[in-house]
Chain A
Amino acid sequence: MLKTRIIPVLYLMNGLIVRSEGFREFKVIGNPINQLERLNDWLADELVYIDITRDGDYDLRRDDMKLKGADDVIGILRQISKSAFMPLTFGGRIKSIEDVDSFIHNGADKVLINSQAYHQPGLVTEVAEKYGSQAMVVGIDVHREGDGHAMYVDQGRTRVDDDPLAYARQAEERGAGEIMLNSIDRDGSAEGYDTDIISAMAAAVRIPVIACGGVGTFEHFRPGIDKGHASAVAAGNIFHFTENAYKRAKKQLHRRGYNVRYPNDI
């Protein structure tokens, strides 16, 4: 049987790995290249890197942070793909098919496109036709509003009127191979997944849904699987701030009878 994937998400800002909270507060926690060894030790099912550098920020910050500039993300990808023999998804700041070409040609297996999939829906189809649906992950950011959920684009800054479920179905029709669903209000909250929207979305589409946002303890993965019916459960912060978090999360799920990949090396 297909395993439920446990996916570490790494947020990149100006070429560094950061912790994200509510899409607004960020704290630098490491250098992606230095973390490579750790990533391999994790024996992760998959890695998702999201560049959340604000548009225009690169030039402002690069001097004081001694970074090489916007091309860094491609450089990071190139190095990672040399020694990480697992699926790699890169996203954030993708505006055009040329951006996608650059990620795929440098070792990404999939691209994650969020805002631009909304502003330019044809891009989803273009990517799917060029590289296959499996390479096209559409990101959807939601924020709880009363009993429902509103959808946001532009890194959580712009609220749009679209229903997230209807939008997800459209994305599927356009060629998306997976949906990565992130809850803005749960991001960095450590309150657990918003399983209401996850389960609604998993029911709304026939492509895999990756749940993200809110994991603060190992206990939080299970509701994403049981109640959310997500095909994959993703998290950011917990994997950085808890010692051996990835292995421990896997171990705990495995012990409880969950169908997760459990290599001997763990």
Chain B
Amino acid sequence: MIGVVSFGMGNIGSVCNALEHLGHTPLIASAPEDLDKADRIILPGVGAFPAAMTRLSTSGFLDALNDQVREKGKPVLGICLGMQLLAETGTEFGDCAGLGWISGRVEIIPRGSSDLRLPQIGWNELVLKDNAQLFANIEGDTSCYFVHSYQLLPTDPSDIVATVDYGGPVTAAVQRDHIFGAQFHPEKSARVGLAVLDNFAKV
């Protein structure tokens, strides 16, 4: 079963709908102990970085996630803000400690040219690193749906497995061992997004 962490940051219904559509069984984890039953974990999230970390901490999910992912080695997929939370440090509204599973910081996308609109909202085509597990068997147009102003910048660039061009390369997906992250919304990215979720369900 795929545990979907429900900690009050965004709509988890779409993620569950997509998993069910693919024939997988989502387990809505409303309490930290629910994750015991999951063999892998999805951490979705929409909203602000510090608010999300506070919620993870007060709900008990922070300790549980560290135990399940760090100690027990269960694969995890962070989506959107959930991916950013994998980092050591967030910088939205000041520096804030993240889960720290991927070394690096979350920074606002550089505006560079003045006509770059933030947030980046819409479909952007992924530039994939070879043999990235999340993107196995995906062909053709790799556009996925993004909604974000911040990006995860890993200390080790080899943690980046996909980028998009938005005023320069922007981190679209990361992987370090069994820890995965997608900045886009796979549950909203039609065929490509469903394939990403299916790939994660099989790692």
Contact = CB atoms under 8 A, between A and B. Distances in A.
B121 A263 contact: no
Contacts of B125: 1, 3, 261
Main SS at interface, chain B: mixed
Interface string A1-21: 111110000000000000000
Contacts of A132: 46-48
A171 to B, nearest CB: 15
Main SS at interface, chain A: loop
Given A3-B123, A135-B46, A261-B141, A85 B117 contact: no
Most chain B CB within a 10 A radius of its CB, from A83, A87, A107, A262? A87
A135 B11 CA distance: 11
Given A108-B11, A109-B147, A208-B122, 20 more contacts: A3-B143, A4-B122, A85-B189, A85-B190, A85-B193, A85-B194, A86-B190, A87-B185, A87-B188, A105-B11, A107-B13, A107-B14, A109-B188, A131-B46, A131-B47, A207-B117, A231-B122, A262-B141, A263-B192, A264-B139
A107 B124 contact: no
Nearest to A106: B13
Contacts of B141: 261-264
Contacts of A231: 117, 121-122
A1 B166 contact: yes
A87 B188 CA distance: 6
Contacts, number: 104
Contacts of A135: 46
Most chain B CB within a 10 A radius of its CB, from A85, A132, A265? A85
B174 interface: no
Interface of A: 1-5, 43, 45-46, 81-83, 85-87, 104-109, 131-135, 177-178, 206-208, 231-232, 261-265
What interface size band does chain B fall in? 35 or more
Nearest to A5: B122
Contacts of B145: 46, 86-87
A265 B191 contact: yes
Most chain B CB within a 10 A radius of its CB, from A1, A132, A133? A132
Given A43-B190, A132-B46, A5 B123 contact: yes
B13 A134 contact: no
